[in-house]
Structure 1
Amino acid sequence: MSDRDEKEAEFIISDRRPRYDLDEPQSSPAEQKKDTSADERARAEKDPSFGEGSTIRKEKESPTPPPSNEAGLDQILALLSGMVLNHLAFDPETRRPAPSFNIREARFFLGLMEAFQEAFRDKLPVSLLDNQPVDVDEAPRLGHIPAILGGMAISALGVDPRTGRPERPPDFESSKLLIDLMDTFLREGEPVMGAEEKEYIKDMIYQAKMYFVSLKDRKSQG
């Protein structure tokens, strides 16, 4: 046997499996079962609570209690939210809407969630209630979409769009995709938007692209 084999044998972990570096004969499965039964009987004589055996051991090994199967109102709310997500799902590989994507259905279940919250407000946890609703200054319009995409593009570069401070390493690939989506939105939406809104979107795209190029140049030089 080589020196390498001898060193490897020293690192064999002593578990309950047969070890190749021991010369002692291994007992048969029947003998092992017999010995185990004898040990359990001996323990049962000394400890009356050992009669419940495996249950007690499992409780000690797994201190985390199993999830409760008790039905609750919060579970209904969670199921409704799952319906919303199902109708707003997208394929993470293609980054396109999934076959189940349906805005009207998602809006329907969102409405159900709001009605559910109001009906059972005194029975739901405070964390699940809209105690401080967000005030919407203006109705949604198409111009909000490229604005959101622009904020996401800056965020993908690792920068907080609200403060302009870097927070994490930039993801140039994701940022480029979001900027390209802004370009696509402008190109496809030009016939249905006014001149002022188009100029606003063009300005956002320009700023996002300049920020992208500036950060990438700084990254390559550093």
Structure 2
Amino acid sequence: MSDRDEKEAEFIISDRRPRYDLDETPSSREDQKKDTPADERTGTEKEQSFRDGSTIRNEKETSSTSSSSEAGLDQILALLSGMVLNHLAFDPETRRPAPSFNIREARFFLGLMETFQEAFRDKLPVSLLDNQPVDVDEAPRLGHIPAILGGMAISALGVDPRTGKPERSPDFESSKLLIDLMDTFLQEGEPVLGAEEKEYIKDMIYQAKMYFVSLRDRKSQG
């Protein structure tokens, strides 16, 4: 076996894990590190360089505080929230649930976040804690869905649903889609909705459509 083959046997290509199976002493590794150019170091040495702080990283962090660059429990909480969002994601182009959409998985990570908050309550910023739980007046029911869609439809028209005051330019396309979704919900929910809920939803749809037409006509005339 040639010297070149023996040397290549010491490395695993694209493996950044620390190697513990090499027959080397600490002193021999230090000697090799001194003689090895920076761009030829092993993955292990590059990992150590990253942990210690490379020149590039140090240059970028000259204006940032140490607290923003250090790993913290709040970052773990943020990553968990990212998992929730990942399982509740939708395709912005089709406006339909993404392939990763999974309510059960999202609920699992939400529960994990609550468990995490309780376990590290004394170590997390107060702003990240649920010190004052919100009291829910009533349990979620199907009638809340078209109500939310109606509020979103009015909001898409550039109006604050709570005050009725204009806030921005209307997005008629988005508002129309949301009103259509209210119609779809009413049609598909016919077998499971009560008579009172149906009348309530029909009234919301009528009001949303009238407001849509009124605002669109006003914009076209102006």
**Could you tell me the TM-score, scaled by structure 1's length?**
0.70
Q: Distance in 1 between matches of 2:131 and 2:164?
A: 30
Give the equivalent residue in structure 1 for 2:19: none
Q: Distance in 1 between matches of 2:131 and 2:156?
A: 31
Say whether residues 1:88 and 2:88 are aligned partners: yes
3-state SS in 2 of match to 1:208: helix
Q: Distance in 2 between matches of 1:115 and 1:197?
A: 36
Q: Shift of the alpha carbon at 1:119?
A: 1.5
Give the equivalent residue in structure 1 for 2:76: 76
Give the equivalent residue in structure 1 for 2:105: 105
Say whether residues 1:174 and 2:167 are aligned partners: no
Q: Shift of the alpha carbon at 1:121?
A: 1.1
Q: Shift of the alpha carbon at 1:193?
A: 0.6
Q: Distance in 2 between matches of 1:167 and 1:86?
A: 30
The structure having more radius of gyration, on CA atoms, is 1
3-state SS in 1 of match to 2:190: helix
Q: Shift of the alpha carbon at 1:127?
A: 1.3
* Count of aligned pairs between the two proteins: 165
Give the equivalent residue in structure 2 for 1:138: 138
Say whether residues 1:65 and 2:64 are aligned partners: yes
Q: Distance in 2 between matches of 1:197 and 1:168?
A: 32
Q: Shift of the alpha carbon at 1:76?
A: 1.2
2:130 is aligned with what amino acid? D
Give the equivalent residue in structure 1 for 2:210: 210
Q: Distance in 1 between matches of 2:214 and 2:135?
A: 35
Structure 1 runs, 4 residues or longer, greater than 6 Å off: none
1:173 is aligned with what amino acid? E
Give the equivalent residue in structure 2 for 1:158: 158
Q: Shift of the alpha carbon at 1:199?
A: 0.5
Q: Shift of the alpha carbon at 1:135?
A: 1.5
Q: Distance in 1 between matches of 2:72 and 2:61?
A: 25
Q: Shift of the alpha carbon at 1:134?
A: 1.8
Give the equivalent residue in structure 2 for 1:13: none
Give the equivalent residue in structure 1 for 2:185: 185
- In the TM superposition, what whole-angstrom CA distance separates every residue of 1:14-68 from its partner, at most 9, and x where no partner exists? xxxxxxxxxxxxxxxxxxxxxxxxxxxxxxxxxxxxxxxxx7xx95x98523875
- Percent identity of equivalent pairs: 91
Alignment RMSD (CA, Å):
1.9
Most deviating of 65-74 and 148-157: 65-74
Q: Distance in 2 between matches of 1:119 and 1:159?
A: 42
Give the equivalent residue in structure 2 for 1:124: 124
- In the TM superposition, what whole-angstrom CA distance separates every residue of 1:191-219 from its partner, at most 9, and x where no partner exists? 11111100100000000000001111111
Structure 1: gaps (5+ residues) = 1-54
Q: Which residues of 2 match residues 24-39 of structure 1 at below 5 A?
A: none
Most deviating of 70-79 and 147-156: 70-79
Q: Shift of the alpha carbon at 1:132?
A: 2.6
Give the equivalent residue in structure 1 for 2:31: none
